[in-house]
Amino acid sequence: MFDFLRRKLRLAHLRKGKPAPRTHRDLSPDLKTNLTAIRRELGASPDLIIRCLKLGSGAEGTGALLFIDGLIDQQVVNRDVIFPLLNGVKRGKFQDGDDLLKYLAQNVLAVGEVKKEPQFGPVVEALLEGETILLLDGHDEALLLSTKGWEKRAINEPDAERIILGPHDGFTENLRTNTAMLRRKITDPGLHFEEMKLGRRTRTGVVIAYLKGVVNEKLVEEVRARLKRVNLDMVLDANYLNEFISDAPLSLFPTVTFTERPDVVAAKLLEGRVAIFVDGTPVVNTVPALFVESFQSPDDYNFPFYYATFIRWFRYLSFFLGVLSPALFVALATYHQELIPTSLLITINAATEGTPFPLAVEMVMMGAVFEIIREAGIRLARPVGQTISIVGALVIGEAAVTAGLVGAPTIIVTATTAITTFVVPDLLGPGIYLRLIYTILAGVLGAYGILIGLLFTLLHLVSLRSFGTPYLSPLAPISAGDFKDVIVRAPIWALGTRPRMIGWPRPQRQPIGFPPSGDEGEEGEAEDDG
Our CA angle for 27, 33, 36, nearest 5°, is: 110
Distance separating alpha carbons of residues 424 and 428, to the nearest angstrom: 7
| 179 Cα distance to chain centroid | 14
For other proteins, the closer CB: 232 or 252 = 252
Residue 379: CB minimum distance to other proteins, A:
29
Q: What share of the chain is helix, strand, coil (3-state, %, to 5)?
A: 50, 15, 40
Please give the radius of gyration of the chain, using alpha carbons only, rounded to the nearest integer. Answer: 30
For other proteins, the closer CB: 378 or 394 = 394
The residues that touch other proteins, with contacts defined as CB under 8 A, are 1-3, 6, 9-10, 13, 225-226, 247-251, 333-339, 341-342, 345-355, 358-359, 437, 440-441, 443-449, 451-452, 455-456, 458-460, 462-463, 465, 470, 472, 475-478
Residue 320: CB minimum distance to other proteins, A:
13
Residues contacting residue 525 through CB under 8 Å, at least 6 positions apart: none
For other proteins, the closer CB: 147 or 469 = 469
Distance separating alpha carbons of residues 122 and 115, to the nearest angstrom: 11
Amino acid letter, 467: F
Residue 434: CB minimum distance to other proteins, A:
11
For other proteins, the closer CB: 423 or 436 = 436
For other proteins, the closer CB: 38 or 434 = 434
Residue 344: CB minimum distance to other proteins, A:
9
Find the farthest-apart pair of alpha carbons in the chain and give their distance in angstroms, rounded: 103
| 439 Cα distance to chain centroid | 31
| 496 Cα distance to chain centroid | 27
Residue 499: CB minimum distance to other proteins, A:
17
Angle between helices 408-421 and 305-334 (to 10 degrees): 150
Report whether 128 contacts 22 (CB < 8 A).
Answer: no
Report whether 277 contacts 192 (CB < 8 A).
Answer: no
For other proteins, the closer CB: 394 or 492 = 394
Report whether 322 contacts 417 (CB < 8 A).
Answer: yes
SS3 138: coil
Distance separating alpha carbons of residues 458 and 460, to the nearest angstrom: 5
SS3 197: strand
Our CA angle for 201, 202, 206, nearest 5°, is: 130
Residue 502: CB minimum distance to other proteins, A:
17
* DSSP assigned state of 187: -
Residue 327: CB minimum distance to other proteins, A:
13
For other proteins, the closer CB: 96 or 338 = 338
For other proteins, the closer CB: 348 or 396 = 348
For other proteins, the closer CB: 95 or 342 = 342
Residue 3: CB minimum distance to other proteins, A:
5
Residue 355: CB minimum distance to other proteins, A:
7
